[in-house]
Structure 1
Amino acid sequence: MLSSLLDHLRRRRRGYAALCVLLGLWLFTDRPNRTPGPLLEDVLARDFLSIQTRNTPTTYYEGRQGPTGFEYELMRRFADHLGVSLNLDADQNIDEVLEAVREKGDLGAAALPLDPTRDGLMYSRPIMPLQPLLVYRRGLPPPSELDDLEGLEIGTLSGTGTDRVMRELQDEHPWLSWQESDDIEVSALLGRVADGSLDAAVVFEHQFRLNRLFFPEVEDGFRLGRPLSLAWAFPTGQGLGLLREANRFLDGLQGNGLLTRLETRYLGRDDYLEYVGARTFIGHVHERLPKYDSLFRAAARASGFDWKLLAAVGYQESHWRPDATSPTGVRGMMMLTNATAADLAVDNRLDPAQSIDGGARYLRELKERLPASITGEDRLFMALAAYNVGLGHLYDARRIAEMRGGDPDAWRDVREALPLLQQREWHSKTRYGYARGGEPVIYVRNVRRYYEILAYVDRSRQQFHQLNARRSLSEEDGLFDRVPPSG
């Protein structure tokens, strides 16, 4: 298919006026008489697609199962669409991304706002809207309009599009002033609002949705200015072939609904933990976890799990309280039963080191005892469910899933079957009988979400330390450039 596409591209007429390149080229996606250039041919010939991007939670980052993120998912699918591999350069800010696209990159995918005023670049069709949002520190009088911002210290990120919106607003409100930086990301900006360095910030709405649980001291204020559009950037002067193919690919994702589903999966969640509960969790991350994180790390090295996953299990079990005791007699940080503790040679369940090590070994044992046919994340999620409800009940749920025509090796189907253990119609057909099967479903969901927050916090700390390693203390004062009032 690709070879025929390439032959087709080579037969097409070449040469178009530069004016068409500088205008909104994505509008011409479906016109059959547009001329492809050499860039698509080069990509197919070399067998890889080079993408300039950024390491951010909304774009691309390393997750527990490898690279992930909204735009990474689109990049990966586009490379698969072309039948080539993917090569990423992610250690750059937005201006560096755009310069790299002009000089060497095939395309830029880095939460880029469509901006036809940028020289040497052309953009894909819009992928999703970017709505600027004013957020502020909890405790300040809630702002609801532009006039409420006078006298506030406001920050934003340069090059992202929010700075452009601020300049447009300043044309009508000359008193408007703010600080901007191209050397930090959204999490660091919101951190400065939370710690009082700034009173408010302007970010995009989806960025705040993803970050709000990590910064409960920051509140959303009001939408600011007109929405922009997320798009991919391509170099001018190298033909329209790759741009047109990207537009065709994005049109297909929009048409079959996958683009909307991916947007919801990666960017649409802002209530996956109850908000007050999230504030409590973040508080415990700072106050309780530091006492025990070395124990979780040691247990992780011995068991092969991510320490943050073990910490998430510990929080779900006891809220990181080593003396926790349930009405049923399970005790300790990882809430081990007497029988399980004895099997694991844990002689003091209230000793956090013994409890964490024992819980990690127990989770590993459960995971190893599962059938080999269960793989990947499904295997981990079922081991977590068994930690909560027991291996026997998990096997019963797998049998129910199979009876219902589902896949007993897929968590999505077992997750649907577990609550049926509460119904006589179903648990009467199983070996171990009744169980409160809804609880392990909630258990796994909560552990996954606690893990997500811990992974985010850990990643943000690493990025903070990396940023500080590249910048001296004297440079900290110059992190933001102040944009003064225009009149």
Structure 2
Amino acid sequence: MHSTPRYFRATLISLCLLLTACGQSLPEWRNGKLVVIVPESSWGARAEFERELVQLFADHLHSSVELIPSPQDKIDRSLRRHHAHFAAASLRSEINIDSLHFGPSYQTVREQVICGRTPRLPRKIAELSGNSLTVVAGSAQETSLRELRDRSPNLQWEARRGLSASELLQEVADGTADCAVANELQVADARNYYANLVTAFDIGTPSRLAWAFSRDVDPDLLREAKTFFARIQQDGTLNRLLDRYYGHRNRLKQIDAAAFVTSTERDLPEYRSLFQEAADLTSIDWRLLAALAYQESQWDPLATSYTNVRGMMMLTEDTADRMGVKNRLDPRESIIAGAKYLALLKEQMPDRIPEPDRTWLALAAYNQGYGHLEDARILTTRNGGNPDSWTDIKKWMPLLNQPGYYETLKYGYARGGEAVILVESIRSYYDMLKRLDSESVAAETKPISYSLIEPLKRLLR
């Protein structure tokens, strides 16, 4: 039986969803039901970010929400036909001003031409001649290219439908395309997997991303959106959300990302079942536990630090005794004890602290101790921050090594900056494992996608 090509599958799904919305008139948003177009799940963090932002807006309106995933090149038409109340799909607010109305801008990103490593890297539009250039159809990046064509009439590109920017960047990394256009956030994420991607140059002016409404949008709905964004900008919710999805993405150097992906192929299979066993015992995602272990020991069960912290999860003697560990160098004992200790730290947190901040704070405590985390929270409060938000705490925790700060706190000196680096690195490794694991499940092959590993191996040679 022939499989349906991915583009047609994505299109059929989107059409079915849109037709479902068309089968009945668009519900009145005042009656408690929003219908919103969002990016397809292949957009990864961007799709998750937009969906969470929409849910917050629905909560603001005390509404339920129906999400309709859609390719970007279908959004304009769908809004004009009133298939949805608005589109939360990272659209460039400068585009389609005749047919769409935009809400407040909530993020600014640079659009970039990305190429594979080559002796003759193009540094301006004119030098793209002879190179293939791809872009997601209907995206903000394609709009930027259209604007550039007014000044560079010979500029050519291929607008790809049914593919995400990350998939286009993979084609560049694999050598099946010369260059692609993506925004800086998409590029930062892709570089964790494809070490041979190079930024050639920025194009146009930075894009201001915003939600899109039809030109005849109900003014009251647009007014509510403006009120909502003003509130979440003022109270810090928007910054925390942006940090949750993007704040850690530039933490890893390419060489670190390359070594990690190679290690997932070489070392992780031996210990994966142990991480899964620990996950079953603690209800903590095995991939998070694996990311923590890699940050601590690079999955080396015999690792030992100069302070005599030892084993896969780098347990201190006190922690090992507390968790009933007999041999810190036994990988199973270490992984299960480390997982239980992390779960214990999470349980100690005040009930009001939500996820994922609860996990990030627990990881910081895993590194520096719960007392020093409490000191960091107190310091954050003193300086007007939110003691329950990792985004705020990580600004102040590094100051625990300065006498002017730690001398005023209960637990004294701590290497707070080390904890921040640890948490942010684990977040990056965790994101990478989630993607690598999902690709391996989809492919039903080895635990890690070969196409992701090979470009990174080349960096290590």
- Pair in the same fold by TM > 0.5: yes
Identify the residue that residue 37 of structure 2 maps to in structure 1.
52
Identify the residue that residue 289 of structure 1 maps to in structure 2.
268
Distance 1:112 1:406 in 2: 31
Identify the residue that residue 162 of structure 2 maps to in structure 1.
183
Greater C-alpha radius of gyration: 1
SS in 1 for 2:191: helix
Answer yes or no: is 1:116 the counterpart of 2:96: yes
Q: Pick from 262, 281, 290: which aligns with 1:311?
A: 290
SS in 2 for 1:60: helix
Structure 1 residues 437 and 346: alpha-carbon distance in aligned structure 2, compared to 1, 3 A threshold: same
Distance 1:190 1:384 in 2: 32
Distance 1:200 1:295 in 2: 41
Distance 1:257 1:393 in 2: 26
For residue 225 of structure 1, report the CA deviation from its aligned partner.
4.6
Matched to 2:200, the amino acid is G
Q: Deviations over 1:415-445 (max 9, x none)?
A: 8468537639855974x66544443344333
Structure 1 residues 294 and 155: alpha-carbon distance in aligned structure 2, compared to 1, 3 A threshold: farther
Asked whether the 8 Å contact 1:299–1:356 carries over to 2, the reply is yes
Matched to 2:139, the amino acid is T
Identify the residue that residue 423 of structure 1 maps to in structure 2.
403
Identify the residue that residue 321 of structure 1 maps to in structure 2.
300
Distance 1:112 1:425 in 2: 44
Distance 2:74 2:235 in 1: 32
Distance 2:384 2:237 in 1: 29
Asked whether the 8 Å contact 2:132–2:177 carries over to 1, the reply is yes
Structure 1 residues 178 and 319: alpha-carbon distance in aligned structure 2, compared to 1, 3 A threshold: same
For residue 142 of structure 1, report the CA deviation from its aligned partner.
1.7
SS in 1 for 2:28: helix
Distance 2:89 2:260 in 1: 30
Distance 1:350 1:427 in 2: 36
Distance 2:128 2:237 in 1: 36
Identify the residue that residue 30 of structure 1 maps to in structure 2.
none
Asked whether the 8 Å contact 1:333–1:356 carries over to 2, the reply is yes
Q: Which runs of 5+ in 1 are unaligned?
A: 1-38, 62-68, 467-487
Residues 168-317 of structure 1 correspond to what in structure 2 (within 5 A)? Answer: 176-225=155-204, 230-235=209-214, 240-241=218-219, 244-245=222-223, 248-249=226-227, 252=230, 261=239, 265=243, 271-317=250-296
Structure 1 residues 196 and 317: alpha-carbon distance in aligned structure 2, compared to 1, 3 A threshold: same
Distance 2:346 2:315 in 1: 17
Distance 2:36 2:378 in 1: 45
Q: Which runs of 5+ in 2 are unaligned?
A: 1-24, 445-461
Asked whether the 8 Å contact 2:111–2:202 carries over to 1, the reply is yes
Distance 1:152 1:104 in 2: 39
Identify the residue that residue 105 of structure 1 maps to in structure 2.
84
Identify the residue that residue 32 of structure 1 maps to in structure 2.
none
Identify the residue that residue 312 of structure 2 maps to in structure 1.
333
Q: Pick from 111, 134, 137: which aligns with 1:155?
A: 134
Structure 1 residues 345 and 85: alpha-carbon distance in aligned structure 2, compared to 1, 3 A threshold: same
Structure 1 residues 298 and 212: alpha-carbon distance in aligned structure 2, compared to 1, 3 A threshold: same
Distance 1:86 1:321 in 2: 46
Asked whether the 8 Å contact 2:104–2:226 carries over to 1, the reply is no
Distance 1:262 1:397 in 2: 17
Structure 1 residues 165 and 327: alpha-carbon distance in aligned structure 2, compared to 1, 3 A threshold: closer
Q: Deviations over 1:59-89 (max 9, x none)?
A: 332xxxxxxx1x3454344434444333222
